[in-house]
Structure 1
């Protein structure tokens, strides 16, 4: 029995010694300076670095996620200081939406950068884990981004929310002749709503996105969006100035509910939408609805009229402008499959003869016609 006891005591002794040795080794490791690790890490590329050293120790995790290692600034400064185009695609790490950090990186490491393309994909389930973005709102709307004309956009396309930065390019509402004001940043795009079992899921995504950035431009690619959904979406986006839709689900049988009418009336006082693009129009009720939804509309573009010719359409639309007492709308744009100077001249003659407008101009650019009046 004494031998067994002695054996057990020895095993305990060596176990204690082993624990102390491990603890003392970790303690010594923690005392090493970061410079030693930085020099060691320089022998690895980014992927090897994280594969080899992540999850080993809290100290390693802290160093690996420091800006010095994460983007290897010294390496960038040395070899890429003259870079003029940079593309980065990342996912599922919300720290990549730290706009101030990107500003510092670009200013310090890429002073010659002219074009910056950035895509960050976040899965819905990750966005649902947090109701609020941990950083400050509108980090990509500072003077740094505006001066460089790099636009920040968001697209909801199940199962991802995609955040994008890209160089500025002209959009459908950029026509300098008419001096139409426009917002150059912060667009939200919906690909489709068919994947959502509950509409509340969409609203949660929007509320989360609004903690990242304000939204000024809404684009919906899905055909025949329901009126109820559109009203609720716009009601969630109080800063909206620009709206693009493919088509609306309104026909002669459509009627607004009491709740929809109430929301529309309340939005009339707060609406800031001044530019509207409807790709397809199938019934004049859609025009009535848009005039009610966007009472301060200044610019209206229509790509395809499916139920009458352009001259008949213009006659009715100017009657509706007078009926709605719309003094804000001053520009229309139509896109035709075929458009020539003779068609434009016929439209101009009709407007003059029927006295639909008194002071107006018509311009044609390829198959697009712009009608502007004072």
Structure 2
């Protein structure tokens, strides 16, 4: 390490590192004591700690740490919080007064103590190393008082303002003050208020800001957005979230000249796709990343042909694209009037970009997402133990979040919702991150998803809320002829009967992965699973994966001795990849 990178964790992109000389340790010295760690390592550790805690914990340990703490290379973060004890607050204030030139980050969340704190110290040019400032929960008059002093700071690159206490409606003064900060690279404003606005006039050449990354989590019209970003010609990243309805017409979408913009994340409600397209055209930018989240009010958002045309014509440099749309069904399962055709992102354009459709069902909400294909859980082996190549047309996934409070043991609603999403897309992979899903419900779900290739479960329940019905038993008995599931992952095995059930539920499985989370003997855990394999019923099963955090080479030897002495497998191989142990046989 030749330099210390003092990362601002939320703003890594803009931080400019400070360079300090590296401590050298002789090559013949074995680093076994904390005292042998270099100064750079300690500086990296301090980045994760509150500066006041670091100061009082390390300053008086010994001469080395005293020099370390007082060094100009030691830059510290300070956090004030409304829940902080008075003693800690007093220590922090004392530390700030004595060490202004070593503070590079201040985070203030003080809705109840702002007046007292601001009266005792002022953020001014004496904070010569301050690079990041976060203000949260404070009254608007105190925010403005602080903003007035900020232009004198010689290194302020990042500013965030969250949840102003008195619910400021007009943000004009805030933005005007922010745009006067001479070195600012990152600005974020967040509020939950639904009726904020701005009345900024478009910028002149003498009013341009240095901001390159802006996050706007507040309501404004596109006309107001156009005025705001007219002040930021150097803008490269824009995260714009309009949480509520906006007044929009084609006439209000003004030209948005952003020649440097390469990243756009935008979330809007009640916006037609044609209007969104007009907005993209007006930007005339060189976007490389586009992330869109929109309420599902227009079927065109899920029209792959329209997106393909938009990207080819107006976003030729786009490298990354993702889309999320929502359907709010609640308990009423009336078909949406906006769904007209199946969701199909399967043309050569989308296949080349490895884009797939994922769906999540949760508490009456359906979220469709179009995103790049990611490595699946059964593709995590370095040596490609599993031959798991899947066609692009078989990549769509559904995730089922089951909430007992919502369904109240009436899972017919969930089954109907799955039927609902099947009308617009087929799914080949399912994940159910629900603790102890009732096996009867699981049987019903898999029965209406016969094309599934992979199944990932958290854990199983055999008798809650009831026993299996005769219909569910019949479905389970017929799985030998209907199941196509090859890859199965059980994160928490509660009892060995879980394995029996999965063998019957997924008789065509090739690969079974189980996470070990028990206190009992790990050899007994593996032995019991191997004994449960029915080689006649599960004739295709060839690989077992055990995720064991304590896995090492010695454990591999013990497994080999156990398998050989008890003749649990023949013609097998066993290998370890990190915390995963793979057993494979022919």
User: Which TM bucket (shorter chain)?
Assistant: 0.7 to 0.9
- Which of 239, 245, 248 is equivalent to 1:49? 248
Matched residue of 2:541: which SS?
coil
Give the direction of change, closer, same or farther, for the CA distance of 1:160–1:373 in structure 2 (3 Å limit): same
Number of the residue aligned with 1:3: none
Distance 1:279 1:183 in 2: 26
Give the direction of change, closer, same or farther, for the CA distance of 1:201–1:322 in structure 2 (3 Å limit): closer
Distance 1:362 1:182 in 2: 25
Indicate yes or no: 2:308 matched with 1:103. yes
Number of the residue aligned with 2:442: 230
Number of the residue aligned with 1:186: 396
Number of the residue aligned with 1:85: 289
Indicate yes or no: 2:383 matched with 1:173. no
Give the direction of change, closer, same or farther, for the CA distance of 1:135–1:111 in structure 2 (3 Å limit): farther
Matched residue of 1:173: which SS?
helix
Cα displacement (A) at 1:140: 2.1
Cα displacement (A) at 1:71: 0.6
Number of the residue aligned with 1:362: 574
Give the direction of change, closer, same or farther, for the CA distance of 1:160–1:322 in structure 2 (3 Å limit): closer
Distance 2:528 2:447 in 1: 29
Number of the residue aligned with 1:18: none
Give the direction of change, closer, same or farther, for the CA distance of 1:226–1:43 in structure 2 (3 Å limit): closer
Q: Which has the higher contact order (CA 8 A, sep 6+)?
A: 1
Q: What's the CA shift string for 1:307-326, capped at 9, x where partnerless?
A: 85332233333333246442
Number of the residue aligned with 1:220: 432
Give the direction of change, closer, same or farther, for the CA distance of 1:155–1:183 in structure 2 (3 Å limit): farther
Q: What's the CA shift string for 1:167-226, capped at 9, x where partnerless?
A: 222221003233234466211112223111432211221111111110111111110000
Number of the residue aligned with 1:338: 550
Distance 2:331 2:438 in 1: 28
Q: What's the CA shift string for 1:123-175, capped at 9, x where partnerless?
A: 11598331687333241233332221123211112242111122222221003
Q: What's the CA shift string for 1:268-290, capped at 9, x where partnerless?
A: 21111110000000112111111
Q: What's the CA shift string for 1:51-80, capped at 9, x where partnerless?
A: 988xxxxxxxxxx9574x44127726x723
CA contact (8 A) 1:127 1:208 kept: no
Q: Where does 1:255-294 land on structure 2 (aligned, <5 Å)?
A: 256-294=468-506
Give the direction of change, closer, same or farther, for the CA distance of 1:341–1:158 in structure 2 (3 Å limit): same
Which of the two has greater helix per residue? 1
Give the direction of change, closer, same or farther, for the CA distance of 1:331–1:151 in structure 2 (3 Å limit): same
Distance 1:110 1:361 in 2: 50
Which ranges of structure 2 fall in alignment gaps of 5 or more residues?
1-221, 227-245, 253-270
Distance 1:115 1:297 in 2: 34
Give the direction of change, closer, same or farther, for the CA distance of 1:193–1:126 in structure 2 (3 Å limit): closer
Q: Where does 1:19-38 land on structure 2 (aligned, <5 Å)?
A: none
Q: Where does 1:293-312 land on structure 2 (aligned, <5 Å)?
A: 293-306=505-518, 308-312=520-524
Number of the residue aligned with 2:360: 155
CA contact (8 A) 2:432 2:457 kept: yes
Indicate yes or no: 2:129 matched with 1:129. no
Distance 2:514 2:391 in 1: 20
Matched residue of 2:369: which SS?
strand
Distance 1:370 1:310 in 2: 14
CA contact (8 A) 2:272 2:297 kept: no
Number of the residue aligned with 2:529: 317
Matched residue of 2:570: which SS?
coil
Which ranges of structure 1 fall in alignment gaps of 5 or more residues?
1-41, 54-63
Number of the residue aligned with 1:71: 277
Give the direction of change, closer, same or farther, for the CA distance of 1:84–1:74 in structure 2 (3 Å limit): closer
Farther-moved stretch of structure 1 (100-109 vs 313-322): 313-322
Matched residue of 2:538: which SS?
coil
